[in-house]
Amino acid sequence: MAPVLILMGSQSDWPVMQEAAKMLKELQVPWRAQVVSAHRTPDLLASTMQQAEADGVPVVIAGAGGAAHLPGMLAAFTAIPVLGVPVPSKQLKGLDSLLSIVQMPKGVAVGTLAVGPAGAANAGLLAAQIVGVSDKQVRQRVNEFREAQRAKVLSGPDLELD
Ligand code: RP5
């Protein structure tokens, strides 16, 4: 299986985006991460997507902050599903990133996750679910992950007053 590709606009996005990689690792889905910027390295963006098509990458996770064009630009180059993760920004705390990624005009689709680490982790989970459509073992591991969460909730302590 070609690895899920995790792309991000800057090295500074990695503390958030590695949550996607951790989730994929836990679910034993191969992944590869790389910095590709829509603004700073547009040529690399185009060639990376050509290579992803040639390699048979099943799904791309893309994180970016601020004027977060990366997921939409990646989606413009490929029909591989792109999952966008809005990375918190210094000035607007990621609301800018969220709106930049989620408000794709009709005709080019990007799936948008929550802002920050939870969104990155869920992007990893959703990527595994996409891979799981055609890979029974991955689907089984996603189901086991869900079951472990369920069991944890059900075995939680009784709620008491402080
Ligand atoms: C975006 O600009 C990146 O995705 C990052 O979130 C943001 C800031 O990048 P740096 O200035 O930290 O490299 O392109």
For the segment 126-157, what is each residue's pLDDT rounded down to a tens digit? 999 999 999 999 999 999 999 999 999 999 99
> From ligand 1's centre to the CA of 39, what distance in Å?
10
φ/ψ (deg, to 5) at 152: -65, -45
- How far is it, in rounded angstroms, from Cα 94 to Cα 112? 13
Per-residue pLDDT band for 91 (boundaries 50, 70, 90) equals very high
Token pair in block for residue 134: 């055609």
Q: What is the pTM (predicted TM-score) of this model?
A: 0.96
Q: Is 37 in the pocket of ligand 1 (CB under 6 A)?
A: yes
Q: Which CATH class is domain 4-154?
A: alpha beta
Q: Is 120 in the pocket of ligand 1 (CB under 6 A)?
A: no
What is the pairing mode between strands 60-65 and 4-8? Answer: parallel
- How far is it, in rounded angstroms, from Cα 7 to Cα 99? 19
pLDDT digits (tens, 9 = 90+) for 36-88: 999 999 999 999 999 999 999 999 999 999 999 999 999 999 999 999 999 99
